[in-house]
Structure 1
Amino acid sequence: MRFVDEAEIRVEAGDGGNGTASFRREKYIPLGGPNGGDGGDGGSVYLVATENVNTLVDFRYHSVHRAQRGQNGMSRDCTGKKGDDCFVPVPPGTIVYEATTGEKIGDLTDPGQQLLVAKGGFHGLGNTRFKSSINRAPQQFSKGSAGEHRMLRLELTVIADVGLLGMPNAGKSSLIRAVSSARPKVADYPFTTLHPNLGVVSVDDLRSFVIADIPGVIEGAAEGAGLGLQFLKHLSRTGLLLHVVDIAPYENEISPVAAAQKIIHELAKWSDELVNKPRWLVLNKIDHLTDDEIQPYCQTIIDALEWTGPVFLISAIKNQGTQALMYAIMNFLEEKKLQQQEQPRGPL
Structure 2
Amino acid sequence: MLNKQVTIKDLARKLRLSVSTVSRALRDVQDINPETKKQVLALAQELNYEPNFIARSLVNKQTKVIGVVLPVIAARYFANALSGMMEAADAKGYHIMFCQSDESPEKEAIRIKKLVSIRIDGLLVSVSKSTSDVETFRKVQQRGIPVVFFDRALEDIEATKVTVNQHEGAFLAVEHLIQRGSTKIAHIAGPKHLSIAIDRMNGYIDALKKYNLPVNNEYILHCEDFQFDAMEKIHALFNLDDKPNGIFAVNDSIAILCIKYLKELGYRVPEDVAVVGYNNDPVSEVVYPPLTTVMQPSFEVGKLATQLLIDEIEQKSSTFHQKVLSSELIVRSST
TM-score w.r.t. structure 1 length?
0.21
| Higher normalized contact order (CA 8 Å, seq sep 6+, divided by chain length) | 2
Greater fraction of residues in helix: 2
TM-score w.r.t. structure 2 length?
0.22
Greater fraction of residues in strand: 1
Structure label with greater radius of gyration = 1
